[in-house]
Structure 1
């Protein structure tokens, strides 16, 4: 990928920024890990806990790291494309990791511990910390969850909200039910061992919260990891402020906001009118909004065109689509954006529970490098989306019908997932003789209203209009 940039004036600056940011991230992780190791060695000499040491250090260094990330955020994805998988392994070397119960996680074996292995479970670490008193109090209300986090038969990763995170809850917010609160707590626990390097290398991860509407049977509700202006975040908003606090049965990362179980797909569309007001208007006018908001579907993937994507169609086609004469075409067009099955950027929940995974293995390892292709049936009768997923290191690109690129991946939803697409996806038209399977895919070229109608005509409901 770097070769494609050679000769460009900005390449040298981008490479410099990449190296500086990489070094900043690595130094941050190394310093936090050194703090944790020091705390292990001094544990019996001090009343301060290991987890408190980690949070103390994180609070001192986070602002500087955030400023650096802000200055170079536009380069983050660029350098991630060039580094390869060894980048992420380097963040997790030289630590006192917990014992592994079963197959090892990705990458080579870690170096031997410097100060001896941890001797407390993730539950015990949370319970003793002055920074997680509210979280510990809530966990203690659920015996099964407390027992799980205190059990050394398996590894877990806890994204632990600090007491300051709970302070963000509005004073007069309604009291959640016992079941709702348990769901929130389970959504903070990832099933498996995800130290900082593996978090960086992953796009999503499965939690202990089961999603009832993601596939033909309950599946783990997932969280998404993103790198942006706020550094490394969970579900776009909860910032990771402390990393790699190791216990005997997993690892803890501190977060500055509660991670709330996601809303439905249509609610996500409603929450961002600046991006999806045109899409929401179309769903409402065609009656699709109520249909896709029901719970009788087993998961789903919405490739959501942004307002800008609709603008690319041009004013004439937009005016036609939202007129009374064009609504049946608008409905067919939008149906083509809803695909069966829940396709994340690095995992796939099929509707058929007997075939639950295409791109991730049962033990949760990352997919191999390469390109994956699948045809996803849509709400539009007899029409599928041709989806290609390409991965190199953390960089994953998704294209639909060979042209429309997913610009924002993994909008986690209660009943599926939302991917923002840079272009409206227009169905292909059959070419050649009648009955031929040869099709002409739209590649973004300018269309007249007549050409646009020709592509959708076979799928519209015949009316008097």
Structure 2
């Protein structure tokens, strides 16, 4: 990573950084895509800022109505079907239609954030892998447009007609379908994978890119190695039965791709799903275009774009300079960039503040933090956002001491956990509220996670629109910062206990 070539120097009066033309050229983003991504992000920030002010009241309403709506869907009641979109048998549309009055506003944030990241991932896809440098382009293309039963309506995934009990395995369904001939050809290169998907001793869910999805890989792209190809295929397979109903109430899923970068023992890499009024997506950019193709040993969901095995956390941050340029500048100036990028660690959670979060601190605080004198304080502040060895997704938790078979799921209702950070003797207080498919994450009872579960090779990124400031001690109590205007003196008071006395 050529950090010095990616980020411009920050102005002394502010740390809110906008990338230069050279930055955009290095990540190979076209001008029109860049404008689209910036526009989406401005919309996301504006909408989030508005929603945060009444999040508590909105969450109570959403929780009550979502629980009621989802229970009706699960029971398949006549009342829910009457409220669903006419002629639709799609569980997803039932949920959205039944809870429209309360969920429209809540899902709007998810819609904007999802669309922003979809476009961002599309723009950055040329940097992902040389052999798949255009796989994430044109994600809104209608992949299954032949007018048959496989095509979805109004952007919703389709339910293929299935009569009677299934009589083929998921491998046989893929191998015999005219929509997945290219995927079948890739799977057939691995006889053990064929045997696995043919076995009825276990269930599998395959998020299967269609032939048109795989056509996005350019013909002149370098051939992947055998190892790369296997990892690519394994990342599309979930070792569990996850029909549409389960997909809707889960945020992440483990895959067959196992990594030794997520814990003291190997853990499965996960994929994340997003639900918005515009559709169901996986990892923010691959749209689900068909659901619930049932086999004797699992289920298949069709994708319009292949999934990419994730990059390391710092590389992922580097791919979004218009979002994280201030954060990356701070990581570079304090030496944390190289440390986090080169140090082996067993997973981790990065509560990553975006550019807007730094802007909210104000120009005086930013000017101090990015001054030569303030860098030691900036380092302590950024260390407070990094949780080593503990990987906390919105619905799963890879603890530092847990083995691959002891992964904790985040229970329904309220869940609290204190996570140690790189800042000595200071932890983050994390509260997760989970009801059905709706999950809210708060840090230190104040800062909301705006974009959840950006999966990475060595952990997960939870995107923040507020900088998290360590609490200060008032007697025996800890006083947490809740977003009020902060002076440089107040910031220094909170951070001085963590700065070496010789540096003061």
* Bucket of the pairwise TM-score, normalised by the shorter protein: 0.7 to 0.9
- 2: CA distance between counterparts of 1:422 and 1:252? 36
CA distance 1:61–1:22, shift in 2 (3 Å): farther
- Structure 1 partner of 2:102: none
* CA deviation string 1:171-220 (max 9, x = no partner): 33222110011000000000100001111111001100002111111111
8 A Cα contact 2:151 2:290, kept in partner: no
Show the counterpart of 1:280.
328
CA contact (8 A) 1:339 1:377 kept: yes
Could you tell me how far apart the structure 1 residues matched to 2:308 and 2:83 are? 30
Q: Is the 8 A contact 2:358 2:366 kept in 1?
A: yes
SS of the equivalent of 2:470 reads: coil
- C-alpha displacement of 1:252: 0.4
Q: RMSD between aligned alpha carbons? A: 3.2
Corresponding residue of 2:49: none
1:53–1:259 CA distance, 2 compared to 1 (3 A): closer
| Equivalent in the alignment of 1:353 | 402
> Is contact 2:238-2:255 (8 Å) kept?
yes
Change in Cα spacing, 1:233 to 1:22, as seen in structure 2 (3 Å) is farther
Report whether the alignment pairs 1:238 with 2:289. no
Instruction: Please identify the structure whose Cα radius of gyration is greater.
Output: 1
Does the C-alpha gap of structure 1 residues 431 and 258 become closer, same or farther in structure 2, counting only changes over 3 Å?
Answer: same
Partner of 1:65: 155
In structure 1, how many angstroms separate the alpha carbons of the residues matched to 2:355 and 2:83? Answer: 34
The SS at the match of 1:334 is helix
Alignment of 1:294-443 (within 5 A): 294-340=342-388, 341-353=390-402, 359-360=408-409, 367-432=410-475, 436=476, 438-443=477-482
Query: CA shift at 1:23, angstroms?
Result: 2.3
Q: In the alignment, what sits opposite 1:364?
A: none
Match of 1:459 in 2: 498
Gaps of 5+ in 2: 1-53, 62-79, 94-142
Inter-partner Cα distance in structure 2 for 1:320 and 1:240:
46
CA deviations on 1:247-279 (whole Å, 9 max, x unpaired) are 000000110111010111111111111211110
- Distance in 2 between the 1:59 and 1:391 partners? 32
In 2, Cα distance between equivalents of 1:412 and 1:256? 20
**2:221: which partner in 1?**
173
Partner of 1:101: none
Question: CA offsets, 1:372-392, max 9 Å, x none?
Answer: 111100011111101111111
Contact 1:24 1:65 in 2 (8 A): no
Q: What is the CA–CA distance in structure 2 between the aligned matches of 1:462 and 1:169, rounded to whole Å?
A: 55
Query: Are 2:256 and 1:213 equivalent residues in the alignment?
Result: no
C-alpha displacement at 1:368, in angstroms? 4.0
The 1-side partners of 2:485 and 2:448 are apart by: 18
CA distance in 2, matches of 1:333, 1:140: 50
Q: Deviations over 1:291-312 (max 9, x none)?
A: 1112510000000001111111
What are the superposed Cα offsets for residues 331-365 of structure 1, whole Å, 9 maximum, x if unpaired?
100000001300000000011025975751xxxxx
User: Does the 8 A contact of 1:350 with 1:356 survive in 2?
Assistant: no
Q: Do the aligned partners of 2:169 and 2:298 also contact (CA within 8 Å) in 1? A: yes
TM-score, L = length of structure 2: 0.70
Quote the Cα distance in structure 2 between the aligned partners of 1:342 and 1:174: 33
Q: Residue 58 of structure 1 contacts residue 242 of structure 1 at CA under 8 Å; is this kept in 2?
A: no
Question: Aligned pair in 2 of structure 1 residues 236, 312: CA closer, same or farther (>3 Å)?
Answer: same
- Is the 2:283–2:307 contact (alpha carbons within 8 Å) kept by the matching residues of 1? yes
The 3 A distance-change label for structure 1 pair 213 and 28 is same
Structure 1 unmatched ranges of 5 or more: 9-18, 33-51, 70-90, 97-114, 361-366
Write out aligned runs for 1:121-270 (5 A).
121-228=169-276, 230-270=278-318
Q: What is the rounded CA distance, in whole Å, between the counterparts of 1:329 and 1:260 in structure 2?
A: 37
Q: Closer, same or farther in 2 for the Cα pair 1:162/1:430, shift >3 Å?
A: same
